[in-house]
């Protein structure tokens, strides 16, 4: 089956929906998701959406906080775009009927979160913001002319004779392959959280967009910068979802089993210190075999204030009456991704990326809380608007690619990989750990996986191959960056090294990688 569209958007989070809706003003858009519209990290988001709206606040303060959280590694132009367009993005949502939480006098309720210097976080139904924004956007999408295809996984980008992206191949739940040709293709598939054993992410967020783009020749950067959220609900050695930072914002404190506060003396901001500091502190206790809890006993009406967290606790069997929630840190957000400019253009012509899958540099080395739904809205609108107004283009013929690989090794099951990533490319990294991870991954013939022909493969096998590729990108990037900054902490290089690294990024391209690995003769390379 072959279908044609002017614009194809792959993904189902806030960035995907916003881009698709904006582009559909003037173009025929098909939105394809491997799951459903109600499955995404955006839908799960408990944090709110940041915008400088109060009289005491201003975009320059929002910019200052974003740069401070990003450890000055952010692209300033992207930050300015984000913070300057935030108030308009909120106004647009309000105009279209979105309901945010309000004070008794009817004014918008503005919350405070760690590393924000002013109250600027909007919520909807307390910690249900992601769900309610997404429901609102899904309602708007249903009224548009966009064709929505659910339960169909994008598995390979199609490249034309001129080197541009001309669409995507997909596989549906029954294993049937389809081909979509498009003038322009957008990846909005999210980050790669579910490649880690402990994560706040939806299980569908497995890095496949990054792997597809990388295989198609797009540059990928900053993959070492991963934000570990300090407080995932942790019961029976597994996570039961996120416990929002807003809980600490309301006064909860991190304590040991005996009730000793663990952030005392670690940072001036104590429990609201930057996420990487809090995550590393909890991790040091967990490593010593000690349990860490969030003491919530001081929060009145906890269930009413945090209905989503309360229901997650109930599902995991945590008794809220006891006044404490067991927590551990886990993968939350990828600051790196497919390298794009401010308009979402990747290094492959006619291929765009937006949201967490993309790296505009807006978050630098660490994202400021509640800037991610905002990123989806602001950059999604900008990209959608650009696509809506680009002239039509002739879709060139497909480039005949010589797939060159020997055999696809038996790939590990996801839990094995998740454990390795958590241990060797997690909250605290070392050269030895990263080298052992890289060697483990390279034994699966990365260069073969980059050339893997998806025809005839199952979604499970393709997902496993993509997971290995993305894990390798993380390991390689983390090994290369010999400093610690934001979400990347190396115990063998524990300080920031501005002279070497402030202006430098780890950028990887598949042609270089293939040549490098091929040169090492890790396996018998057979040209098809
Ligand atoms: C949280 O609620 O703690 C997460 C919010 C965010 O990551 O922006």
Q: Which atom of ligand 1 is nearest to the CA of 369?
A: 8
Instruction: Give yes or no for residue 308 CB within 6 A of ligand 1.
Output: no
The dotted CATH code for 233-323 is 3.90.700.10
C-alpha triplet 483, 487, 493: angle, nearest 5°: 20
116, two tokens: 């924000």
Question: Alpha helix (H) ranges present in 345-413?
Answer: 372-389
Q: Which of 354, 245, 344, 362 is nearest to 14 (CA)?
A: 354
If one residue of 193, 245, 271, 306 were mutated to test the ligand 1 pocket, choosing by the most ligand atoms within 8 A of its CB, it would be: 245
Active-site residue (options: 275, 324, 485, 490): 275
Q: Which atom of ligand 1 is nearest to the CA of 372?
A: 8
Fold category of 2-190+333-389 in CATH: FAD/NAD(P)-binding domain (3.50.50)
Give me the phi and psi of 474, to 5 degrees please: -65, -50
C-alpha triplet 334, 336, 338: angle, nearest 5°: 120
Model pLDDT, residue 517:
72
Model pLDDT, residue 512:
80
* Interacting residues of 374 by C-beta distance below 8 A, sequence separation 6+: 49, 50, 51, 82, 86, 89
389, two tokens: 């107004």
If one residue of 205, 230, 325, 332 were mutated to test the ligand 1 pocket, choosing by the most ligand atoms within 8 A of its CB, it would be: 332
Measure CA of the first residue to CA of the last residue in the chain; give whole Å. 27
Instruction: Give yes or no for residue 370 CB within 6 A of ligand 1.
Output: yes
Model pLDDT, residue 287:
92
Contact in structure between 427 and 292 (CB atoms under 8 Å): no
Helix (H) or strand (E) holding 261: none
49, two tokens: 């959406």
Model pLDDT, residue 367:
96
Helix (H) or strand (E) holding 284: helix 275-287
DSSP-based three-state secondary structure for 99: coil
The DSSP bridge partners found for residue 30 are 8, 147
From first to last of its 528 residues, the chain has per-residue pLDDT tens of 778 999 999 999 999 999 999 999 999 999 999 999 999 999 999 999 999 999 999 999 999 999 999 999 999 999 999 999 999 999 999 999 999 999 999 999 999 887 899 999 999 999 999 999 999 999 999 888 999 999 999 999 999 999 999 999 999 999 999 999 999 999 999 999 999 999 999 999 999 999 999 999 999 999 999 999 999 999 999 999 999 998 998 899 999 999 999 999 999 989 988 889 999 999 999 999 999 999 999 999 999 999 999 999 999 999 999 999 999 999 999 999 999 999 999 999 999 999 999 999 999 999 999 999 999 999 999 999 999 999 999 999 999 876 655 456 689 999 999 999 999 999 999 999 999 999 999 999 898 899 888 988 999 999 999 999 999 999 999 999 999 999 999 999 999 999 999 999 999 999 887 777 765 433 333 332
Q: Which atom of ligand 1 is nearest to the CA of 127?
A: 2
Q: What is d(CA 131, CA 280) in angstroms, rounded to the nearest whole number?
A: 29
pLDDT digit string, tens, across residues 63-114: 999 999 999 999 999 999 999 999 999 999 999 999 999 999 999 999 988 7
Nearest CA to ligand 1 atom 4: 47
Q: What is d(CA 21, CA 25) in angstroms, rounded to the nearest whole number?
A: 7
Instruction: Give yes or no for residue 246 CB within 6 A of ligand 1.
Output: yes
Annotation marks residue 275 as catalytic: yes
DSSP-based three-state secondary structure for 480: helix
350, two tokens: 């006619």
What spacing in Å lies between the alpha carbon of 370 and ligand 1's midpoint?
6
**Measured in whole angstroms, how far is the alpha carbon of residue 23 from the centre of its chain?**
22
If one residue of 41, 44, 47, 116 were mutated to test the ligand 1 pocket, choosing by the most ligand atoms within 8 A of its CB, it would be: 47
Taking phi first (over 0 means left), then psi (-120 to 50 degrees means alpha), and beta for anything else, what does residue 207 get?
left
Q: What is d(CA 66, CA 60) in angstroms, rounded to the nearest whole number?
A: 10
Taking phi first (over 0 means left), then psi (-120 to 50 degrees means alpha), and beta for anything else, what does residue 252 get?
beta
Instruction: Give yes or no for residue 165 CB within 6 A of ligand 1.
Output: no
Contact in structure between 335 and 364 (CB atoms under 8 Å): yes
36 to 12, 77, 353: CA distances (angstroms): 7, 34, 20
Q: Which atom of ligand 1 is nearest to the CA of 227?
A: 7
Model pLDDT, residue 410:
87
328, two tokens: 């551990």
The DSSP bridge partners found for residue 185 are 8, 351
Contact in structure between 416 and 177 (CB atoms under 8 Å): no
Q: Taking each helix axis from N to C terminus, what angle separates 372-389 and 129-142, rounded to the nearest 10 degrees?
A: 20
Contact in structure between 331 and 198 (CB atoms under 8 Å): yes
Q: Which of 2, 4, 6 is nearest to 391 (CA)?
A: 6
Model pLDDT, residue 402:
67
Q: What is d(CA 365, CA 347) in angstroms, rounded to the nearest whole number?
A: 21
The owner of tokens 């090994």 is 479
Q: Return the CA Rg of the chain.
A: 22
Instruction: Give yes or no for residue 484 CB within 6 A of ligand 1.
Output: no
Model pLDDT, residue 452:
87
Model pLDDT, residue 408:
61
Q: Which atom of ligand 1 is nearest to the CA of 333?
A: 7
What spacing in Å lies between the alpha carbon of 282 and ligand 1's midpoint?
17
Instruction: Give yes or no for residue 46 CB within 6 A of ligand 1.
Output: yes
The owner of tokens 């699966």 is 444
Instruction: Give yes or no for residue 5 CB within 6 A of ligand 1.
Output: no
* Interacting residues of 378 by C-beta distance below 8 A, sequence separation 6+: 81, 82, 85, 86, 89
What's this model's pTM, rounded to 2 decimal places? 0.95
CB atoms within 10 A of CB 408: 16
Using the 8-state DSSP alphabet, how is residue 368 labeled? P
Q: Which atom of ligand 1 is nearest to the CA of 46?
A: 2
What spacing in Å lies between the alpha carbon of 45 and ligand 1's midpoint?
7
What spacing in Å lies between the alpha carbon of 468 and ligand 1's midpoint?
27
Domain with CATH 1.20.58.100 in the chain: 404-525
142 to 22, 23, 136: CA distances (angstroms): 14, 15, 10
CATH class (in words) of the domain with range 404-525:
mainly alpha
Nearest CA to ligand 1 atom 7: 369
What spacing in Å lies between the alpha carbon of 242 and ligand 1's midpoint?
8
CB atoms within 10 A of CB 450: 21
DSSP-based three-state secondary structure for 122: strand
Instruction: Give yes or no for residue 244 CB within 6 A of ligand 1.
Output: yes
Nearest CA to ligand 1 atom 5: 47
Contact in structure between 89 and 59 (CB atoms under 8 Å): no
Q: What is d(CA 100, CA 125) in angstroms, rounded to the nearest whole number?
A: 7
Q: Which of 509, 328, 291 is nearest to 426 (CA)?
A: 328
Model pLDDT, residue 401:
78
Q: What is d(CA 472, CA 466) in angstroms, rounded to the nearest whole number?
A: 10
If one residue of 43, 46, 205 were mutated to test the ligand 1 pocket, choosing by the most ligand atoms within 8 A of its CB, it would be: 46
Instruction: Give yes or no for residue 47 CB within 6 A of ligand 1.
Output: yes
Model pLDDT, residue 528:
29
Domain with CATH 3.90.700.10 in the chain: 233-323
Q: What is d(CA 467, CA 397) in angstroms, rounded to the nearest whole number?
A: 30
Q: What is d(CA 26, CA 24) in angstroms, rounded to the nearest whole number?
A: 5
Instruction: Give yes or no for residue 477 CB within 6 A of ligand 1.
Output: no
Q: What is d(CA 218, CA 185) in angstroms, rounded to the nearest whole number?
A: 13
């Amino acid at each position: 089956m072959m279908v044609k569209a002017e614009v194809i958007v792959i993904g189902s989070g806030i960035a995907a929906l916003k881009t698709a809706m904006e582009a559909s003003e003037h173009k025929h858009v098909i939105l394809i998701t491997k799951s459903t519209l109600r499955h995404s990290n955006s839908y799960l988001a408990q944090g709110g959406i940041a915008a400088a709206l109060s009289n005491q606040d201003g975009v320059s303060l929002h910019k200052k906080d974003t740069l401070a959280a990003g450890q000055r590694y952010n692209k300033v132009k992207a930050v300015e775009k984000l913070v300057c367009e935030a108030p308009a993005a909120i106004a647009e949502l309000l105009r279209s009927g979105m309901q945010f939480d309000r004070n008794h006098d009817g004014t918008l309720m503005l919350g405070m979160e760690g590393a924000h210097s002013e109250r600027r976080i909007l919520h909807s139904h307390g910690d249900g913001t992601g769900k309610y924004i997404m429901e609102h956007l899904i309602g708007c999408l249903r009224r548009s002319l966009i064709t929505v295809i659910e339960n169909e996984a994008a598995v390979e980008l199609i490249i034309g004779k001129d080197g541009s992206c001309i669409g995507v191949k997909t596989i549906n739940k029954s294993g049937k392959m389809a081909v979509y040709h498009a003038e322009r293709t957008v990846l909005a598939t999210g980050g790669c959280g579910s490649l880690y054993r402990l994560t706040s992410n939806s299980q569908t967020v497995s890095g496949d967009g990054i792997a597809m783009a990388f295989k198609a020749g797009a540059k990928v950067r900053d993959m070492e910068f991963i934000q570990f959220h300090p407080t995932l609900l942790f019961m029976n050695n597994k996570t039961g979802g996120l416990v929002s930072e807003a809980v600490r914002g309301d006064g909860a404190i991190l304590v040991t089993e005996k009730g000793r506060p663990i952030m005392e003396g670690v940072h001036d901001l104590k429990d609201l210190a930057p996420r990487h500091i809090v995550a590393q502190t909890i991790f040091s206790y967990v490593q010593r075999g000690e349990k860490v809890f969030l003491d919530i006993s001081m929060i009145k009406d906890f269930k009413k204030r945090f209905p989503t967290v309360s229901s997650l606790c109930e599902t995991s069997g945590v008794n809220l009456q006891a006044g404490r929630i067991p927590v551990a840190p886990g993968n939350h957000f990828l600051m790196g991704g497919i390298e794009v400019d401010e308009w979402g253009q990747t290094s492959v012509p006619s291929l765009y990326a937006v949201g967490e899958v993309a790296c505009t540099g807006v978050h630098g080395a660490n994202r400021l809380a509640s800037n991610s739904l905002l990123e989806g809205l602001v950059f999604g609108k900008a990209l959608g608007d650009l696509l809506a107004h680009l002239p039509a283009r002739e879709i060139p013929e497909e480039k005949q690619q010589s797939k060159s690989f020997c055999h696809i090794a038996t790939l590990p099951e996801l839990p094995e990989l998740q454990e390795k990533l958590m241990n060797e490319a997690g909250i605290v990294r070392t050269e030895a750990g990263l080298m052992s991870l890289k060697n483990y991954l390279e034994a699966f013939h990365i260069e073969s996986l980059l050339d893997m022909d998806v025809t005839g493969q199952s979604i499970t096998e393709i997902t496993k191959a993509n997971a290995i590729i993305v894990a390798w990108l993380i390991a390689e990037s983390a090994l290369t960056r010999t400093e610690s900054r934001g979400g990347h902490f190396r115990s063998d290089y524990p300080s920031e090294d501005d002279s070497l690294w402030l202006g430098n990024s780890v950028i990887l391209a598949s042609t270089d990688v293939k040549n490098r690995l091929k040169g090492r003769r890790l396996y018998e390379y057979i040209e098809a």
